[in-house]
Amino acid sequence: MSDATALPRLLAGLHPHRRLTLAQHRAVHGPPSYAGGLVDALADAGLRGRGGAAFPAAAKLAAVARARGRAIVLVNGGEGEPMSRKDCVLLESAPHLVLDGALAAARAVGAREAIVCVPDDARAARASLGAALAERDDAARVRVRAVPRRYVAGEESALARFAGGGPLRPTVTPPRPSERGVRGRPTLVQNVETMAHVALVARHGGAWFRAIGASELPGSALVTLSGAVRRPGVYEIPTGMRLADLLAAAGEATEPLRAVLVGGYFGRWHAAAAASELTLDRALGSGVVVALGESACPAAELARSTSWLAGESAGQCGPCVHGLAALADAIGRLVSGRADDGVLPRILRWSGQLEGRGACHLPGGVAGYVRSGVATFRPELEDHHRHGRCDACTAVPVLSTPPAPEAIAA
C-alpha cells in the first residue's frame, strides 16, 4: 500500500464471503506497527470516528490515556443502524485489521484488555473473529462479547455498561466512558471501521492517511449503499466524494429517484434533485446511503421507520419513551388519513422539543430525521393526510425495520 492515494485501503485484498488469514492479511498490509506516538499520528491524520458522531479519534485516545485507572478498549461492532453492513463486512472478511487497530490503541492507552462487541445474531462475524484470534499470539488480550442487535447498542455509554455486566441502557454523562466505563474503568470506545483505520495510521502515518479525502474529514470511508441502485453493497470512497459519483459507481439508479437518505436513521433526507451535488463528508454520518425510487411511498417509509425507532427506546427517559411514541403515532395517523388538521405543525413542534433531551442522542436523532422527512416529503404527506394510504404503501419496504426483541437483555 505504498501509494497513499490508492483505494481500496480497508477493503484491500478482500474476497466476498472469505476471511483473510493472518498470512494473507500481512501480505496485503504488512506487519502491524505498535510504535509510540499513536495519539500524535492520529491527530496528524485528522481521523474522526466513523460511527456517526465524527469525534476526533486522537482526542478520545488522549482522554483515556490521561485517566486514572487501568484502561479497557471496547470495539463497538454492534452496528445498531439497520441499513449498515460495513462493520460486519470488516469483521467477517478483515478481522485482523480490526484486531491490529484495537491492540495498537490498547498499547497507546495502557490497556491490558480489549473487548470486541458483535451482534448476537452475527454468527459469521463471530466465527471469523474466533478463527482470527486462534491465529494470533496476542489473542489473550482480546475477548469477543455478544450484544443484542438493538439501536441503542451503538451508544457508547450503553455498550460500556452492558460490557461490564449491566443493562443495555445509556448512562447520564458526565462521566463519559473515557473517565468511567466498563466496570468503572477508563474505556476507549471506537467502532469497528475506526479501529481498522487506526491500524493503518499506525502503519503508515498521518500524512499517508490524509493524502485523500476532504480536509475536515480526511481519509477514506466505508459506505453501505442500498435501495434503487444496480449494484448495492459496501463501497470504500474518499471522503468528500459527490453522491452522484457514488451512484454512478454503483451502476446508476434502477428507476427515477424520489429522494436519498444520507447518514442512516440519524441522517437526513434529501430530494433527488438537490442530492445530486451533495458531498459525502460530515453529512455521511454512520456511512449509510439509501436511494429511494419513485415506486416507493416515502410517507409509509417515514412512518414505519419512525415507529421502529420509537420501539428501540431503552425505556428510561420520558422524552424518549413518551415523546418518540407520540411522534410515531402522529405520523402513523397522518399516513393512514386519520389525523386532525393540525398534525403536521404538531409533528414539527414535538420534533423541536425533543432536541437535546434524554440520556442519549436517540430523541434528537429521530427528531432531525423526521423533520428532514417532513421537509422533503411534505406534498406526499399532505396527500396521505387528505386521502389516506396509497397503493405503494403496501410495497416491500426499502428501509429495514427489524422486529424488536421482547426486552433489552441485561
Please state which CATH number belongs to domain 22-209: 3.40.50.11540
For 148-267, where are the E strands, in sequence order?
A: 187-191, 220-227, 233-238, 241-242, 257-262
Separation CA 150–CA 81 (nearest Å):
8
pLDDT score for 410: 27
Residue tagged 454520518 (cell numbers): 285
Q: Which CATH class is domain 220-293?
A: alpha beta
What is the mean pLDDT of each successive set of 10 residues along the chain, which is 410 residues long? 86 91 97 84 96 92 91 94 94 98 96 96 96 95 94 91 94 90 96 97 96 95 97 97 95 95 95 89 92 97 96 85 94 96 96 84 92 97 97 94 49
pLDDT score for 347: 97
DSSP string for 108-142: HHT-SEEEEEEETT-HHHHHHHHHHHHT-SSGGGE
For the chain, the straight-line distance linking the first and the last C-alpha, in angstroms and rounded, comes to: 43
pLDDT score for 1: 57
Separation CA 54–CA 220 (nearest Å):
13
CATH topology of domain 298-394: de novo design (two linked rop proteins) (1.20.1440)
Separation CA 89–CA 79 (nearest Å):
11
Residue tagged 474522526 (cell numbers): 48
Separation CA 42–CA 40 (nearest Å):
5
pLDDT score for 90: 97
Separation CA 363–CA 404 (nearest Å):
18
Separation CA 140–CA 361 (nearest Å):
34
Write down the domain spans for the chain.
22-209, 220-293, 298-394
Separation CA 268–CA 247 (nearest Å):
17
